Structure 1
Amino acid sequence: MDDRKLKILSAVVDEYIVTGEPVGSKAIMAHVKASSATIRNEMAELEKQGFLEQPHTSAGRVPTYKGYRLYVDKLMEQDPLSEEEKKQLDSMLPDDFITEKDLVESASLALADLTKCATVVANSTPKFSLISKVEVIPTGKRMYVILMITSSGEIKNKVCRLEFDLTHEQLEFFDNFVKQNLSGIPLSELTDANIEKLTEAMGTYMMTLSPLVSELLKMTKELDRDVMVKGQKNLLTCKDFDQTEIITFMENEKELMDFIDSTFSGLNVKFSPETDGFVIHNSSIITAPFSKGGKTAGTLGLIGPMRIDYAKFIPYLEYFTSRITDMITERDETDDDK
């Protein structure tokens, strides 16, 4: 496309993001030096090429997802954050935090409040977290609770029903076995094959204690699929969406993980027509990763209508993920010094 068409497409997207109404040629004249007739002809051509569409015969035009894609990839000029804005964003994050999850949740809530969109956090830290503690707690006849705490502050527990009661000797053996073989081990190493080797290493205790080890493996896999959505009410009040679709989405938030798994490698913008099975039509998802120890630890994202203010919201998202990475790094370095 020539420069004039690109400028017109960019102007249509910018106008539509602000007004939510079909954009006519007169509105574009404020952005592009051309007659109304010339702009109408160019907009008609952009419609033929699939970048714009006309909701009604007499109305102006609105961007298609193909138009948004070109806009986001090539035409958009991001609004750089001022120092004052950075200070405002910093004030929305905790000065001190107990776990990384607390920090990321604070950033997620702040981003939802700023953008009036929903936010999503996908946590991949289980791939890099270590097992800090595993404890088995008797709770009743043949009933035991397995408690696991990781280095990233995740706490998981699971009820395990056995076919027999464990003796004090068996519980003590399991406690010592875990300390020697699992404490300080990355969760990523708890594969089926490694668990099988550990179970065999229990010797005569293998038959009685292997169910506990199997449940422990299930717990680590559940951690690996952790996803959290905040600001859902922002979607319910958005006039661009069908409320029935939002309710369906809220009931199936875990399905987001399949999409987010593929977005851990930098800023990613996806539109609902490009995502199989995503129930919210006319929506976009913007995600960016944050890191821990030089490795991707998770993803923070925005879910909103396709006409969100990308130029404004993407810098917010990138700043928060950058600050999360820096604050986790600073905390870990302080802990190492101690």
Structure 2
Amino acid sequence: MNLDERKQKILQAIIQDYITSAEPVGSRTIARKYNLGVSAATIRNEMFDLEMMGYLEQPHTSAGRIPSIKGYRFYVDCLVKPEKVTNDEKKFVETWFQDKVSDVDQIFQNTAKGLARITHNVTLVMTSQQPGSRLKYIRFLPLDHRRAIMIVVTDSGQIENCIYSKPDGVDVDELNIVAEKLTNFLSGVPMAKINMDMLQQFHDDVVDDLDLYRTAFRSLHRAFRRQQQLYKGGTMELLNKPEFKDVDKAKSLFTMLEEQDIVANILHDEGEQTDKPVTVRIGEETKLSPINDCSIIEATFTANDVVLGKIAVLGPARMEYARIIGLLDFMKQHVTHILEHYQDDK
């Protein structure tokens, strides 16, 4: 059901007030603080309707309401207009990166720390360890009668390996025939551009024996995923949020943030693609129970048309969406500019 204009304005006012106060919002508060041109009684009736429609929730016995995940989703999709970055914020970002770009690792680490400093939320940056590096070769080494080691080497000297479970009756020589074909197919391709679609194309064009290659695809994909490096900032900022005063809840989230593979999966979304410069996932859309009442705002950054990774802000669902979306888009563009100049100077 679509919301009429009055319900939209009331929902927007409630969410904006709750973002600021972290307290359930009542009709009198909305009538007093927001010039909506209707009485508190009318607002109260509209709030009841919004609750029945699933956009608001009533915690315990409070007379106030808080936004539901559905309410936040409507707010982000239909009501939020990204805020322009202020001059002070621009100055902070530009100053933050001065003399801090001696190598790519520093660029990404300072991106995470700088954005966390501005947003007061957790910031995650996930990227390849060596942006622009290209596949050199793939090789299998024997481990035991059931397993082999897949070695992936890039032109920058980076080496990744993973354990490969051999199909029954297949020896390492046969696996290295697979490796040679994969090497010929992918040699010289930037690591950042290798994805499952490309491996599927290899399967369609080259592979004859599906059983022989299926596990190779999975192992190769894991090796490519491990090329990614994760940078974090602002973890301790969460302790200042009312949502994380519960020790067990905070502990669960902190434990999750220490697991790099889990965090990488948060940012590595192989689902529906979007042309939006910044995307937002709210609550259960994150698909992880420790952050079921959190939101992730993320953007993909590139340099010279090569995708280098993702930058994201993670925090309570009660986030400053308009401000953070604007900041994230600005930071993405700023980091892209730095990376392109860094690579041109190499």
TM-score of the two chains, using structure 1 as the length reference: 0.71
Whether 2:22 is the aligned partner of 1:20: answer: yes
Whether 2:291 is the aligned partner of 1:284: answer: no
**CA gap 1:150/1:246 in 2 versus in 1, 3 angstroms:** farther
**CA gap 1:26/1:296 in 2 versus in 1, 3 angstroms:** same
Whether 2:278 is the aligned partner of 1:267: answer: yes
Contact residue 227 and residue 254 of structure 1 kept, 8 A: no
Q: Which residue among 96, 117, 125 is the counterpart of 1:113?
A: 117
Deviation at 1:323, TM superposition (A): 0.6
Paired position in structure 2 for 1:123: 127
User: What's the RMSD between the two structures over aligned residues?
Assistant: 3.5
1:58-97 correspondence runs (5 A) = 58-95=62-99, 97=101
Which of the pair has more CA radius of gyration? 1
**CA gap 1:287/1:33 in 2 versus in 1, 3 angstroms:** same
User: What is the letter of the counterpart of residue 23 of structure 1?
Assistant: V
Contact residue 127 and residue 224 of structure 1 kept, 8 A: no
Deviation at 1:219, TM superposition (A): 9.5
Summarize deviations over 1:101-160 as a string: whole Å, max 9, x none: 31121011011111221111121576852369xxxxxxxxxxxxx997765xx96688xx
Q: Distance in 2 between matches of 1:186 and 1:284?
A: 31
Paired position in structure 2 for 1:246: 253
Paired position in structure 2 for 1:176: none
Contact residue 235 and residue 246 of structure 1 kept, 8 A: no
1:81-230 correspondence runs (5 A) = 81-95=85-99, 97-124=101-128, 128-130=132-134, 186-187=190-191, 188=194, 221=224, 223-230=226-233
Identity of aligned residues (%): 32
Contact residue 133 and residue 154 of structure 2 kept, 8 A: no
Deviation at 1:86, TM superposition (A): 1.1
Paired position in structure 2 for 1:45: 49
User: What is the letter of the counterpart of residue 260 of structure 1?
Assistant: L
Whether 2:238 is the aligned partner of 1:235: answer: yes
Secondary structure at the residue paired with 2:243? coil
Deviation at 1:236, TM superposition (A): 3.7
**CA gap 1:3/1:318 in 2 versus in 1, 3 angstroms:** same
Q: Which residue among 308, 332, 337 is the counterpart of 2:343?
A: 332
**CA gap 1:277/1:185 in 2 versus in 1, 3 angstroms:** closer
Q: Distance in 1 between matches of 2:10 and 2:222?
A: 53
**CA gap 1:121/1:156 in 2 versus in 1, 3 angstroms:** farther
Deviation at 1:42, TM superposition (A): 0.3
Q: Which residue among 319, 322, 330 is the counterpart of 1:319?
A: 330
Q: Which residue among 307, 316, 329 is the counterpart of 2:318?
A: 307
Secondary structure at the residue paired with 2:232? strand
Contact residue 124 and residue 313 of structure 2 kept, 8 A: yes
User: What is the letter of the counterpart of residue 17 of structure 1?
Assistant: I
Deviation at 1:295, TM superposition (A): 2.6
Deviation at 1:95, TM superposition (A): 4.0
Q: Which residue among 51, 56, 60 is the counterpart of 1:56?
A: 60
Contact residue 156 and residue 219 of structure 1 kept, 8 A: no
Q: Distance in 1 between matches of 2:12 and 2:24?
A: 14
